Homo-oligomer: A and B are copies of this chain.
Amino acid sequence: MDIDRNGSVTSPRGFQAAATACGLKASGQLDLALVVSQGESQAAGVFTRNQVAAAPVLISKRTLQGHAHHIRAVVINAGVANACTGAAGLEAARSTQQAAARLLGCAAEQVLVLSTGIIGLPLDMAKMRAGLQRAVPALSSTAGPHAARAIMTTDTRPKHAALQAQLPGGTVTLGGMAKGSGMIHPDMATMLAVLTTDAALPHEHLQAILGDAVERSFNRISVDGDTSTNDAVLLLASGASGVAVDTVQAQEAFSAALERLCLHLARELVRDGEGASKFISITVCGARAEAEAVRIGRTIATSPLVKTAIAGGDPNWGRILAAAGRAGVPLDPARLALWVGIGENADLQLVAAGEPLPYDPAQAGARFAAAEIAIRLELGLGSAQASVWTCDMTHDYITINAEYHT
């Protein structure tokens, strides 16, 4: 069950993809991706909790409510978010469904739509229609990585992967692609990700399994604390492997594989976070409940002071404890313990029972200066724990976001 970094949404049987540049990105780069299920797929989706949800999020949620059992395609455009676009935005999302359906010979309700890019701009339907007309004849079962490139915005590289899972009834494949890399602070859903599998299982199970996997992967990362208007994760199951996920054992194996894939893609998003120069793993343990560990972890992960200290390689560990203290979770400062380290190994203890320990500044400095940093905070209150992942906040984050729109 190894991650195949060359894999993609077209790795599972029964899926094709295509990508084209339809002119939504001023740069002329790829900006329209199409993922097509050759037969009818079962589908599941998890969407942003941001109340200012984009038109494609509203339309895809509604589409899944009645038609999750026979989805044929996902259309994703980058460059324009189609959010805060009012009635015209909803109409554009519906027109996208219709245009793709006509070309694919299916019903509009069998097409899901996602958008990412600048908020408030109208989606140019002439460009979208022309792009879809070029994309459909180009559909192929090897174009998954190409599609992953087309959904990028400020991402510096495409994120796609696949893996195989051995189920009692045989081997199934799972594939996926995701894009970041700003406005990343998923809440119940996430940035954009499209996942595919050739396993056979009904929408209802798919939805439950996807919700759990997203909760422990995409919902545990943060780049900048801003939950997007367009966050969405879609999962399509073609059943083309002929392997049914119909026993508890099969479901557990499938769930584990899906979580592994989601976690891989989520961590790739953090590594490519806007302006990121460092990857930070934060583990909060000794909590009374997992949700409390997550809340403290996310507060540390979104603290500008923690993120800038790490950008500067500055062992200013007090900021980590200060962030924990304002997370809104009851804690006992006298029980706190803190370790830092390189990679995933938080080996240098800085705080024990709330008291600072003497430490070698060179040793601490080396850890805060590493490209991959592990932080472990022990609360001493229980046995629950959780990990979250984030990146540092650098000058490049400011540059990217002060100049993104214009």
| Interface residues of A, Cβ cutoff 8 Å to B | 49-53, 81, 83-88, 118-120, 182-183, 187, 224-229, 302-305, 308-309, 311-319, 321-326, 330-331, 333-334, 336, 351, 353-356, 365, 393-395, 397-399, 401-406
Contact = CB atoms under 8 A, between A and B. Distances in A.
A120 B356 contact: yes
Tallying the copies of this chain within the complex gives 2
A355 B87 contact: yes
Contacts of A319: 119, 183, 226
B314 A84 contact: no
A83 B322 contact: yes
B226 A326 contact: yes
A227 B302 CA distance: 12
A398 B398 contact: yes
A84 B229 contact: no
A389 to B, nearest CB: 17
B398 A393 contact: yes
Contact of A224 (B305, B354, B399): B305
Nearest to A305: B226
A83 B325 CA distance: 11
Given A86-B355, A305-B183, A402-B312, A318 B226 contact: no
Contacts of A87: 355
A314 B312 CA distance: 27
B224 A324 contact: no
Given A226-B322, A318-B83, A325-B51, A402 B119 contact: no
Given A86-B355, A224-B304, A303-B225, A322 B402 contact: no
A79 to B, nearest CB: 13
A61 B276 CA distance: 41
A325 B120 CA distance: 14
Tell me which of A53, A88, A182, A356 has the highest count of chain B C-beta atoms within 10 A of its own C-beta: A356
A381 to B, nearest CB: 12
24 contacts: A51-B324, A51-B325, A51-B326, A52-B324, A83-B322, A84-B321, A85-B355, A119-B316, A120-B317, A120-B318, A224-B305, A225-B303, A226-B303, A226-B304, A226-B305, A226-B326, A229-B318, A308-B397, A308-B401, A309-B402, A309-B404, A312-B406, A394-B398, A394-B402
Contact of A304 (B315, B317, B397): B397
A357 to B, nearest CB: 10
Given A318-B120, A402-B311, A50 B305 contact: no
Nearest to A354: B86
Nearest to A87: B355
Contacts of A311: 398, 402
A52 B325 contact: yes
Interface centre among A302, A393, A398, A399 (most CB of B within 10 A): A398
A118 B322 CA distance: 11
Contact of A314 (B322, B326, B397, B402): B402
Contacts of A317: 119-120
Contacts of A225: 225, 302-304
A316 B405 contact: yes
Contacts of A303: 225-226
Given A226-B303, A226-B319, A308-B398, 17 more contacts: A51-B331, A52-B324, A52-B326, A52-B336, A84-B354, A85-B356, A119-B316, A119-B322, A226-B323, A227-B326, A309-B404, A309-B405, A311-B398, A312-B401, A314-B403, A316-B404, A395-B399
